[in-house]
Amino acid sequence: MRPNIFFFLLLLMLAGCSQQATDRFVKSADGVEISYSVYGQGSPALVFVHGWSCDQTYWKYQVPEFSKHYTVVTLDYAGHGKSGANRENFTMESFGDDVAAVVNDLKLDKVILIGHSMGGNVIIDASTKLPGRVLALVGVDIYEQLVDTVFTREMMTQFTEPFYTDFSNSVNGFVRSMFWPDTDPALVEMVASDMASAPQDVAMSAFENMFEYSTRLETILKTIDLPFYAVSSDLYPTNAEDNRKYVKSFEARIMEGYGHFLMMENPEEFNRLLEETINEINP
């Protein structure tokens, strides 16, 4: 008997549904329009939050895998991607408002917040605005040392000075330093050129405010009673023992031989470790 072609087409359509999404928009606390996308269905919802000068497309290798079993949400902060940029000061708190606005718009009540790089700070702030709805926080190559008492304002000023003088070339070099030498050159080029093309005013406002937020992080962590997890590379060593002084439940999984953008460098291995983490959070 010849197979029914319409039956197979239907199966293909259903199989692709978890990976399809349309752009959605919601206004943040200050009225800025925030772009976000939703894929798949299932609980808990996984909210993927991008890093400094990136956007929601940096999670493109996670969406197809995790939307098979979970509701997957990605978003662009204000000043990033397709979101509005009419904000004067790009703080961690304002980005946290962006995340909370999306979660509230979708009426999600069981959420795991997953933040890459600067996004690790953003999800900390967002969790304070979503009481009782966040199961855990997962930092992606960010929680190597939760509270850094060594990096000073003077060091920050010295570090960022070249970014104000020649933003594009400084960002390009900075981003390339976050990969191991044997990383796929095409990926390095894509990430470096993309981040170097970010709006300088947005990027530097976020950079300065990220440092300011870190100076208050020890106090902020005392107000949060949530499990903290990390999926990190070995580019920067993770000090789990020190982190447990501030968050008793801190746990980390390490990808050896990869750089800061590990979710793009080896998606299969990263997704496996993230799935293990999610299963530990929500057995």
For residues 206-234, average pLDDT: 96
For residues 1-9, average pLDDT: 40
pLDDT tens for 104-145 read 999 999 999 999 999 999 999 999 999 999 999 999 999 999
The predicted structure's pLDDT at residue 151? 81
Copy the structure tokens of residue 193. Answer: 């050129």
pLDDT tens for 168-202 read 999 999 999 999 999 999 999 999 999 999 999 99
The predicted structure's pLDDT at residue 283? 85
Asked whether the CA dihedral 206, 81, 255, 280 is positive or negative, the reply is: positive
For residues 54-72, average pLDDT: 98
The predicted structure's pLDDT at residue 20? 55
What CATH number has the domain bearing residue 170? 3.40.50.1820
The predicted structure's pLDDT at residue 21? 63
Please provide the distance, in angstroms rounded to a whole number, between the alpha carbons at the two ends of the chain: 44
Number of domains in the chain: 1
Copy the structure tokens of residue 224. Answer: 């949060």
Residue 96 belongs to domain spanning: 5-281
> How high does pLDDT run on average in the chain?
92
The alpha helices in 197-230, defined as continuous H runs, are 200-215, 217-221
Copy the structure tokens of residue 15. Answer: 């199989």
Using pLDDT thresholds of 50, 70 and 90, give the confidence band for residue 22. Answer: low
For residues 17-30, average pLDDT: 77
Q: Which of 60, 194, 47, 53 is nearest to 117 (CA)?
A: 53
Tell me: pLDDT of 71 over 90: yes
Q: Which residue has the tokens 């999984």?
A: 253
d(CA 39, CA 32): 23
According to DSSP, residue 206 is labeled H
